[in-house]
Structures are given as C-alpha cells and as structure tokens.
C-alpha cells in the first residue's frame, strides 16, 4: 500500500513538471522571462485617472452691501491709498491744531476754568471734545469745499493725487489768511528770507502755517485775559472783606469760588462765551 501511494505521487509530480515544460515562456511586466502560466502573469488594470472636482454653486450669494473694500483713488492702487490714509491719520492731530481754530478755543476754555477757580471741572476730555465740536462747526463749509473740489475729482480719476492736494490747500489758505496777523507774516517772511508777496494769497505754506498758529495763540491769550478780569475783581473784593472782618484763617477761595460760579450762571456765561467765539470767526 505504501509503495503504491508513493508511486502515484511520483507519477503526479512527473505529469506536473512535463506540462510546465510544454507551456511557452512568457514575459512579465519587467521584461524577464517566466514559466508561470499566462493567466497568472496578466498585468493588473491601471486605475482610472481621477476626475477633476469642480464645486457647483447653485445660488451664488450676492455681495454684502455692508462690506468694506478699499480701492485705489483715481488710477492709483489700493496699496498707495492705504499709505495715504495712514499718513493722513498720523498727521491729523497736527493738522487739527495748526490749521484750524482748535488751539484758540482750547486756550480760552482752559483760561475760563482757571478764572472760575476750578481745578478739574470741566475735565480736560470735556474741554477737548467741546473744542473739537466747535472746530467742526466752523470748518464744515471748508470741508465741503475741499471734498467737492479735491476728493470727488480724485475718485473719478480726473486729477492726480498731487493736484488734489494743491486744490485742497486753496480753501485752507483762504481761511488762514483771513485770521493771520500781518506782523506775524512779516516776522516769518524775514526769517525765511522770502520776498514780500503782492497778495496774502500768494504766501507759501512755509510762512503761512507758523504765522497762523502764532496769531491764534495771541488771540486765545487775549480772550482769556479778558475773561479773567471780572472774576479777578470778585477775588479781590472777597479777599478785602475777609481781611477787614478779621477772618484771617478762612481762605478767600472758599467764598469767592461759589460767588464766581453764581455770577457765571446768572449771566448765562456759556451762551455768551460760545456766541462771542463763534462770531469772532465770521
């Protein structure tokens, strides 16, 4: 039994070897010859190329009307527009002080607070805010003129940025020339060694700007000195009375401050002061 089983196994092995030799040699994908049956050496199918994915927008959302977009002014680029805007924001405090009535108004309000004998009422923020509001009220017509003659043509691309700056300086020059003193103009003309112009409108900004701010400082101090006089009289009267009655230990400020406040409120001081300041710029 065992011999017959071994013979059968050898016979089957011989048949398998002979059938393998009878098959033709085949080449695999690398080019080498192989005797493995052809069905086993068939190349695998390559994967299909990926299909390009394109998102489908059924209902594209409309542009947001509240969206903020910075575009170039005129034919300029957005980058230069941002540079110009940042520069203007940096120079805005200096422009506000040196080219508007802001300095005169703030000086007058500080003098008024000192004349009333009040240390921190109204606060500095209140006085600065009041000065800015009054400045906006006075400069609003000039701002409208600058916007119509400079900003609108620049946005439409009709003029360049330098032309817009030149046209914006025309109404500012007219405003400052109206309130500058001739004495201050002569001072800075002499220091700048420039010839005397035939007209005040021909002054350069190099001379006009320092002359204007100097004139505003003088005007503010003059108004402040006038404001001090009635309250100074009240202080002198109260001090003489307290001294004559022997109240040496009582500071006169304790009595004079309420009296000055009552006097200021009785005559409606804020209304008179603001009205006088606004009329001085007409």
What are 240-269's pLDDT values in tens digits?
888 887 777 778 777 888 888 888 888 888
Q: Is residue 92 part of a domain?
A: yes
Count of domains for the chain: 1
User: 176, 99 in Cβ contact below 8 A?
Assistant: yes
User: 107, 217 in Cβ contact below 8 A?
Assistant: yes
Q: Is the pLDDT of residue 145 over 60?
A: yes
Of the candidates 129, 78, 131, the residue with the CA atom closest to the CA atom of residue 102: 131
Determine the pLDDT at residue 14.
Answer: 59
Number of H helices, E strands in the chain: 10, 2
Domain assignment of residue 87, given as a range: 78-226
Determine the pLDDT at residue 68.
Answer: 45
Pairing label, strands 26-27, 33-34: antiparallel
Determine the pLDDT at residue 18.
Answer: 56
Confidence of residue 30 (pLDDT cuts 50, 70, 90): very low
Rounded Cα gap, residues 133 and 159, in angstroms: 32
Determine the pLDDT at residue 41.
Answer: 44
Q: Is residue 211 part of a domain?
A: yes
Arithmetic mean of pLDDT over the chain: 75
Q: Is residue 213 part of a domain?
A: yes
User: 131, 106 in Cβ contact below 8 A?
Assistant: yes
Determine the pLDDT at residue 10.
Answer: 60
Considering only residues 232 and 52, tell me which one the structure prediction assigns the higher pLDDT: 232
Burial class (CB in 10 A: 0-12, 13-18, 19+), 112: buried
Q: Is residue 200 part of a domain?
A: yes
Confidence of residue 33 (pLDDT cuts 50, 70, 90): very low
Q: Is the pLDDT of residue 113 over 50?
A: yes
b/e sequence 176-194, b meaning 16+ C-beta within 10 Å: bbeebeeebbeebbeeeee
Of the candidates 130, 62, 80, 76, the residue with the CA atom closest to the CA atom of residue 102: 130
User: 182, 208 in Cβ contact below 8 A?
Assistant: no
Q: Is the pLDDT of residue 138 over 70?
A: yes
Question: Alpha carbon of 144 to those of 148, 155, 162: distances in Å?
Answer: 6, 15, 19
Q: Is residue 96 part of a domain?
A: yes
Q: Is residue 47 part of a domain?
A: no
Helix (H) or strand (E) holding 102: helix 102-116
Q: Is residue 17 part of a domain?
A: no
Taking residues 266-277, what's their average pLDDT?
A: 88
Taking residues 18-44, what's their average pLDDT?
A: 48
Q: Is residue 192 part of a domain?
A: yes
């Amino acid at each position: 039994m065992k011999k017959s089983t071994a013979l059968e196994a050898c016979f089957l092995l011989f048949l398998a070897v002979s059938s393998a030799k009878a098959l033709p040699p085949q080449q695999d994908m690398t080019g080498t010859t192989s005797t493995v049956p052809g069905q086993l050496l068939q190349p695998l199918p390559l994967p299909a190329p990926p299909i390009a994915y394109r998102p489908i927008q059924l209902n594209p959302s409309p542009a947001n009307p509240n969206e903020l977009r910075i575009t170039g002014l005129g034919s300029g680029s957005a980058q230069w527009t941002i540079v110009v805007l940042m520069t203007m924001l940096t120079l805005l405090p200096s422009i506000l002080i040196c080219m508007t009535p802001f300095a005169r108004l703030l000086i007058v309000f500080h003098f008024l607070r000192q004349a009333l004998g009040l240390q921190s009422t109204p606060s500095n923020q209140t006085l600065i805010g009041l000065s800015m509001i009054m400045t906006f009220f006075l400069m609003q017509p000039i701002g409208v003129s600058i916007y119509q003659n400079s900003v609108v043509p620049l946005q439409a691309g009709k003029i360049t940025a330098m032309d817009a700056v030149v046209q914006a300086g025309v109404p500012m020059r007219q405003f400052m020339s109206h309130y500058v003193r001739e004495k201050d103009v002569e001072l800075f003309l002499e220091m700048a060694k420039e010839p005397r112009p035939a007209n005040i409108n021909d002054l350069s900004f190099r001379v006009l700007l320092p002359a204007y701010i100097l004139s505003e400082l003088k005007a503010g101090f003059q108004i402040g000195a006038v404001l001090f006089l009635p309250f100074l009289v009240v202080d002198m009267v109260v001090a003489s009375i307290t001294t004559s009655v022997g109240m040496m230990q009582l500071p006169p400020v304790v009595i004079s401050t309420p009296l000055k406040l009552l006097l200021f409120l009785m005559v409606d001081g804020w209304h008179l002061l603001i009205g006088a300041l606004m009329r001085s710029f007409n």
